[in-house]
Amino acid sequence: QYTRGTVTAFAPFDARADAEALRKAMKGMGTDEETVLTILTTRNNAQRQEIASAFKTLFGRDLMDDLKSELTGKFETLMVSLMRPAYIFDAHALKHAIKGAGTNEKVLTEILASRTPAEVQNIKQVYQQEYEADLEDKITGETSGHFQRLLVVLLQANRDPDGGVDEALVEQDAQVLFRAGELKWGTDEEKFITILGTRSVSHLRRVFDKYMTISGFQIEETIDRETSGDLEKLLLAVVKCIRSVPAYFAETLYYSMKGAGTDDDTLIRVMVSRSEIDLLDIRREFRKNFAKSLYQMIQKDTSGDYRKALLLLCGGDDD
Domain that holds residue 200: 167-243
CA distances from 220 to 40, 245, 282, 289, 290 (A): 39, 15, 21, 17, 19
Which pLDDT belongs to residue 242? 97
CA distances from 216 to 12, 184, 195, 208 (A): 56, 16, 20, 11
pTM here is 0.94
Position 162 in a domain: no
Of 224, 243, 262, the position where a domain reaches its end is 243
Position 161 in a domain: no
Find, among 206, 210, 209, 204, the residue nearest to 192 by Cα.
204
Residue 298, number of CB atoms within 10 A of its CB: 21
Dihedral (Cα; 228, 229, 235, 240), 10-degree rounding: 100
**pLDDT tens per residue across span 76-119:** 999 999 999 989 999 999 999 998 777 899 999 999 999 999 99
pLDDT tier, 1 (very low <50, low <70, confident <90, very high otherwise): low
Of 219, 243, 267, the position where a domain reaches its end is 243
Whole-number mean pLDDT of the chain?
A: 95
Close Cβ partners of 244 (under 8 Å, ≥ 6 residues apart): 285
For residue 31, give the CATH number of its domain. Answer: 1.10.220.10
Position 108 in a domain: yes
Specify the number of domains making up the chain.
3
**pLDDT tens per residue across span 44-59:** 999 999 999 999 999 9
